[in-house]
């Protein structure tokens, strides 16, 4: 090969090497010297630097990274500036029903180390759905099943019931002595790992929140898997939760999140009584994210329909009508659409949009889904239910309200004609009325809204998925 050939070959090799991703700092199976983070799906170098409170430049320099875009899932990165830790670090999701103490017992990691790795300054930061960094080498040695210390019970008695000894229990749960436990303390037993919320009694197998994080204007499903005989209640933000037993033995509450609630952390509290009479009480923060609702152009309406002397009594009446929570679930499956298929994808305005009337501040929001239609077009019931209101109102015009059971209601505004009466039982697809232009409107259409737990929610979700 001549000289120019060797030069071309060398340049080609350089190009290939620069395109290859950086090699992991620590090989698989090696015990790291210092903290080493294992890259997870969706991670970026910026996310990792932010998570550990280090600069991106330091992270790149220590790991010999020239191009942050070449980061791969499974890469192992040395984290600078953290002393006294020789372990691989992985990310876990905090589930509902955990505290700093329960997480420490679950992953067999000292609370101080969890606090230091995650830069925790307040218990509120351990909210359900948050990411938690823990050493992988210890997370494989998680403690086993949960056991709750009963009133009047000693650690020795609890240990004997579960075939253990009090000293092992004290060690596994980082107790300073066998006497430093209190009634209600949830301990981890030695043995095979058993999943479940570590700060809740063993009778509670799982608490599932969907969606997580919660979202403005959405219907939240809270499902608690537990042993039978549980009496359960709770609150989300300032709303009472109503739980109903399901065929699979779980308990479910459906609760709307107000579309104008500022994003942030809010408490989700569970309370009740276990089958053996033991009281249950727990609260943990959950994050409520923005719904991303847009701002509409200023709307011009009759000023009389904005007069608080008119709107406030009507709003209070509507809230009172949709407040009762009846135990029978009348609907099943996904809700049907309320108008003929020709209007299925025509919405003059969707749920949650921020509104200004006659030049006011954007302090209003659209509480439902506006459906295209001309005066006289048919309106159909989306699900089975019972009519609890059918009449004329100033803002809502000719309106109908249907109770579908368990805190779920649907409303139909601005009708030209109402074809049902209070007390009527309706079935899916039954004719309810006809589209009109009554009340506070700029033209004929159907305004359709859904209430869940006393809060208006996005109707589109109920057209796309089945709620329990």
Q: Over pLDDT 90: what percentage of the chain?
A: 71
- The order of strands in the sheet holding 35-38 is 76-78, 35-38, 87-93, 131-135
Say whether pLDDT at 297 is over 50: yes
Q: What angle do CA 130, 186, 230 make, to 5 degrees?
A: 90
Structure tokens belonging to residue 434: 């006809």
Say whether pLDDT at 141 is over 70: no
Query: What is 204-289's CATH number, 3.60.110.10, 2.60.40.10, 3.40.50.150, 1.10.510.10?
Result: 2.60.40.10
State whether residue 10 is helix, strand or coil. Answer: helix
Instruction: Say how far residue 389 (Cα) sits from the centre of its chain.
Output: 32
Instruction: Say how far residue 139 (Cα) sits from the centre of its chain.
Output: 25
Position 30 scores a pLDDT of 58
Say whether pLDDT at 400 is over 70: yes
Position 70 scores a pLDDT of 85
Structure tokens belonging to residue 181: 């436990």
Report, as an integer, the average pLDDT of 377-405.
Answer: 98
The yes or no reply on domain 303-464 and CATH 3.40.50.1370 is no
**Cross-strand bridge partners of residue 320:** none
* Count of all residues that appear for the chain in the document: 468
Q: Which residue has the higher pLDDT, 2 or 298?
A: 298
Position 273 scores a pLDDT of 94
Position 13 scores a pLDDT of 47
Task: Please give the C-alpha separations between residue 403 and each of 328, 400, 410, 411, 451, in angstroms, as whole numbers.
Answer: 10, 10, 7, 9, 10
CB 241, CB 235: distance < 8 Å: yes
CB 307, CB 383: distance < 8 Å: no
Same fold, 26-139 and 146-188: yes
Range scoring the smallest mean pLDDT among 29-38, 85-94, 250-259, 371-380: 29-38
Structure tokens belonging to residue 300: 């011009």
Separation of alpha carbons 68 and 59, rounded Å: 10
Torsion of CA 30, 32, 33, 37, to 10 degrees: 160
Position 18 scores a pLDDT of 45
The yes or no reply on domain 26-139 and CATH 3.10.350.10 is yes
Separation of alpha carbons 253 and 243, rounded Å: 4
Say whether pLDDT at 372 is over 80: yes
Q: How confident is the model at residue 83 (pLDDT cuts 50, 70, 90)?
A: confident
Structure tokens belonging to residue 142: 């998680």
Position 16 scores a pLDDT of 44
Separation of alpha carbons 159 and 438, rounded Å: 70
Q: How confident is the model at residue 24 (pLDDT cuts 50, 70, 90)?
A: very low
Say whether pLDDT at 135 is over 50: yes
Separation of alpha carbons 414 and 320, rounded Å: 20
Helix runs in 20-154, H state only: 45-52, 56-63, 100-107, 111-118, 136-139
- CA Rg value for the chain: 29
Separation of alpha carbons 223 and 226, rounded Å: 10
Q: How confident is the model at residue 296 (pLDDT cuts 50, 70, 90)?
A: very high
Position 176 scores a pLDDT of 87
Q: What angle do CA 436, 441, 447 make, to 5 degrees?
A: 60
pLDDT in tens, 71-80: 999 899 999 9
Say whether pLDDT at 59 is over 60: yes
pTM for this one? 0.88
Residue among 239, 252, 245 at smallest CA distance from 288: 239
**Cross-strand bridge partners of residue 225:** 206
Q: How confident is the model at residue 155 (pLDDT cuts 50, 70, 90)?
A: very high
- State the chain's mean pLDDT as an integer: 90
Separation of alpha carbons 182 and 153, rounded Å: 9
Q: What angle do CA 208, 211, 216 make, to 5 degrees?
A: 135
Separation of alpha carbons 411 and 420, rounded Å: 13
Say whether pLDDT at 25 is over 50: no
Position 22 scores a pLDDT of 42
Say whether pLDDT at 235 is over 60: yes
Separation of alpha carbons 22 and 357, rounded Å: 57
Residue among 375, 383, 381, 373 at smallest CA distance from 400: 381
Position 142 scores a pLDDT of 60
In sign, the C-alpha dihedral spanning 305, 307, 310, 316 is positive
Measure the N-to-C terminal CA separation of the chain; round to a whole number of Å: 74
Structure tokens belonging to residue 263: 């994003």
Separation of alpha carbons 155 and 58, rounded Å: 48
Q: Over pLDDT 70: what percentage of the chain?
A: 90
The architecture that CATH gives domain 146-188 is Roll (3.10)
pLDDT in tens, 191-220: 777 789 999 999 999 999 999 999 999 999
Q: What is the DSSP letter of 166?
A: H
Range scoring the smallest mean pLDDT among 132-136, 353-357, 392-396, 414-418: 132-136
Say whether pLDDT at 12 is over 80: no
Position 19 scores a pLDDT of 44
Report, as an integer, the average pLDDT of 249-273.
Answer: 98
Position 335 scores a pLDDT of 98
pLDDT in tens, 432-462: 999 999 999 989 999 999 999 999 999 999 9
Structure tokens belonging to residue 391: 């009449």
Q: How confident is the model at residue 100 (pLDDT cuts 50, 70, 90)?
A: very high
Q: How confident is the model at residue 156 (pLDDT cuts 50, 70, 90)?
A: very high
pLDDT in tens, 160-181: 999 899 999 998 898 988 888 9
**Domain boundaries in the chain?**
26-139, 146-188, 204-289, 303-464
Residue 343 CB neighbour total at 10 angstroms = 18
């Amino acid at each position: 090969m001549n000289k120019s050939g060797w030069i071309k070959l060398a340049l080609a090799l350089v190009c290939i090497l620069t395109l290859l991703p950086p090699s992991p700092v620590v090989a698989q199976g090696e015990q790291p010297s210092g903290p080493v983070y294992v890259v997870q799906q969706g991670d970026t170098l910026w996310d990792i630097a932010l998570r550990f409170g280090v600069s991106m430049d330091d992270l790149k320099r220590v790991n010999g990274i020239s191009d942050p875009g070449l980061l791969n899932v499974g890469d192992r990165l040395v984290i600078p500036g953290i002393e006294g830790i020789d372990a691989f670090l992985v990310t876990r999701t905090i589930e509902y029903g955990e505290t700093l103490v329960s997480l420490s017992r679950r992953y067999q990691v000292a609370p101080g180390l969890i606090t230091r790795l995650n830069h925790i300054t307040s218990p509120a930061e351990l909210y359900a759905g948050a990411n938690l960094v823990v050493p992988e080498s210890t997370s494989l040695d998680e403690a086993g099943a949960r056991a709750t210390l009963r009133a009047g019970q000693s650690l020795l008695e609890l240990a004997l019931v579960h075939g253990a000894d009090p000293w092992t229990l004290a060690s596994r749960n980082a107790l300073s002595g066998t006497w430093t436990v209190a009634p209600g303390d949830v301990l981890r037993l030695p043995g095979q790992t058993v999943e479940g919320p570590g700060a809740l009694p063993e009778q509670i197998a799982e608490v599932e929140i969907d969606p997580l994080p919660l979202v403005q204007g959405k219907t939240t499903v809270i499902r608690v898997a537990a042993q039978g005989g549980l009496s359960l209640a709770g609150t989300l933000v300032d709303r009472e939760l109503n739980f109903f037993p399901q065929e699979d033995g779980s308990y479910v509450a459906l609760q709307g999140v107000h579309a104008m609630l500022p994003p942030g952390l809010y408490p989700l509290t569970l309370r009740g009584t276990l089958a053996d009479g033991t009281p249950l009480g727990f609260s943990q923060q959950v994050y409520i994210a923005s719904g991303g609702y847009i701002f509409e152009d200023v709307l011009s309406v009759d000023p009389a329909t904005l007069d608080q002397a008119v709107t406030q009594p009507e709003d209070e009446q509507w809230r009172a009508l949709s407040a009762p929570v009846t135990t029978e679930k009348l609907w099943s499956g996904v809700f049907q659409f309320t108008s003929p298929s020709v209007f299925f994808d025509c919405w003059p305005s969707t749920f949650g949009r921020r509104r200004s009337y006659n030049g006011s501040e954007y302090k209003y929001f659209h509480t439902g889904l506006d459906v295209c239609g001309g005066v006289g077009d048919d309106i159909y019931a989306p699900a089975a239910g019972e009519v609890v209101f059918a009449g004329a109102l100033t803002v809502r015009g000719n309106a109908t309200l249907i109770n579908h059971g368990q805190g779920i209601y649907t409303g139909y505004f601005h009708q030209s004609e109402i074809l049902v009466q209070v007390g009527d039982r309706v079935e899916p697809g039954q004719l309810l009325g006809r589209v009109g232009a009554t009340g506070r409107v700029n033209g004929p259409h159907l305004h359709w809204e859904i209430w869940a737990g006393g809060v208006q929610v996005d109707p589109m979700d109920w057209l796309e998925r089945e709620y329990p």
